[in-house]
Amino acid sequence: MWAFETLGSIVFMIDLTFAFRTAYIEGAVWETRGEEIAKRYLSGWFWIDGPSSIPVELIELAIGGSSSNLQAVRMLRLFRLLRLLKLLRISEFIDNLEDRLDIRINMRFVNLLSLLCQLIFTAHLLGCGWFYTTWFPDEESGNWLERLDQNIHREVHEKYLLCIYWAFTTITSVGYGDIVAVSTTEIAYVTCALIVSALVFSYMIGQIGCAIASLDRQTSHVDEKMDAIKEYIAWRRIPKHLGLRLRRYYEHYYRERPHFDETEILSCLNPMLNAEVVKFVLREKIGKLAIFEKLSPEFHLAAFAKLRPGSFKPGEVIFRKGDASRDLLFLMKGDVAVLLRADERIIEARITPAQHFRLDFFDGSVSATLPFEGALGADMLLGRRRTKSHMAITECEVFSIVKEDMVQLLQHDPHRQNG
């Protein structure tokens, strides 16, 4: 134990030394000047790190066990409690770790671990207090340790394990009854411990429940929405095959659409940062579509808000010949078969995400020559019904946009008008 505590003190001393040589970010610039680093550290965490790094074990070893100053030196151990305040920097440490390793750490999971550590620490404090009550035994009944076992000269780790065991059974309201209070001091302590345990246990259960429920907000959001869809299907008594398609559609839709408002998040950024973020975010989505390639980032964001994700299973008909043309679809993944007009059992053509089209579009107010890659249902732009049936050959993912939204986008982008 002495070696472990000494090693801990040495690690804290090394950390204290490194803190004077660790650069930090000031605005958007790294501050590497030693004088400024030291000034910043001395005005902040040094007054906690310094006293908590005092090597008490080495000082005791140097003075010796017979020294009259040994008791005063042991008082320095109280400074080690300041090490607990370093836990306040855990969020800063996690932020730095995410930046350096380019990873995403779920803070809800970290909070869950933090609650577990708080529970263990509370049990440790209660256990230590429970052991100290043995110093004040009754003359007749003794103390709880003597009643439990006449072998009161147990090893320290055995006594600690008994105290921790009692603390956890008290906090969790189990109370097996094998370790009980016998002296007046112990009864008073147990009464206070029960009050603290009731508050701590209730708080822990509530916080752990909230943390577990919010570990994956996206999954919780999708589950909540899908429960509503299932209730709607049952309420309307929608046939099984149609209900299956409905559920499949919304599962993909909610999986592609996050639970947060992306438009609101991006609208708060300054123009330059907004343009960079939008360009990156949409590069793998509508940025691949030739029809949007010359639009500005602002219009990319506007178009992205109007596009609706969808999916089709192999063999599923996307639309049939003669259906009303309400939307235009962009194939992002998979292959689609264009069926022969005379015999829909025969595949006339095959559409892939990379296939290129050009179409002149005019609705009376806006005219444009539009390049398409992997476009489905371009009849919509000409106001005609579907001229051919389309069927998914493989699992397909698409984005769709209705004609009104397409017209609105073109009206606000003069570079796309008049070809």
pLDDT band for position 161 (cuts 50, 70, 90):
very high
pLDDT by residue (tens digit) across 200-258?
A: 888 888 887 777 766 666 677 777 888 888 899 889 899 888 888 888 888 877 776 66
Please name each of the domains of the chain with its CATH number.
Answer: 1-103 (no CATH), 307-416 (2.60.120.10)
pLDDT band for position 15 (cuts 50, 70, 90):
confident
User: What is residue 168's predicted lDDT score, i.e. its pLDDT?
Assistant: 92
Residue type at 44 in one-letter notation: G
Q: How far is CA 110 from the centre of its chain?
A: 9
Beta bridge partners of 188: none
Name the E strands within 179-241: none
Integer Cα distance of 405 and 328 in angstroms = 10
pLDDT by residue (tens digit) across 388-405?
A: 899 999 888 888 888 888
What does the radius of gyration of the chain's CA atoms come to, in whole angstroms? 34
302 vs 1 pLDDT, higher one: 302
**Per-residue DSSP letter, 374:** S
Integer Cα distance of 180 and 297 in angstroms = 70
Does residue 364 have a pLDDT over 50?
no
pLDDT by residue (tens digit) across 278-337?
A: 777 776 666 666 666 666 666 766 777 788 888 888 888 899 999 988 888 888 888 888
At which residue do the structure tokens 């579509």 appear?
Answer: 289
Instruction: Report the pLDDT averaged over residues 188-195.
Output: 92
274 vs 67 pLDDT, higher one: 274
Annotate 239-254 with three-state secondary structure.
CHHHHHHHHHHHHHHH
Integer Cα distance of 282 and 182 in angstroms = 70
Instruction: Report the pLDDT averaged over residues 157-173.
Output: 90
Q: Model-level pTM? A: 0.46
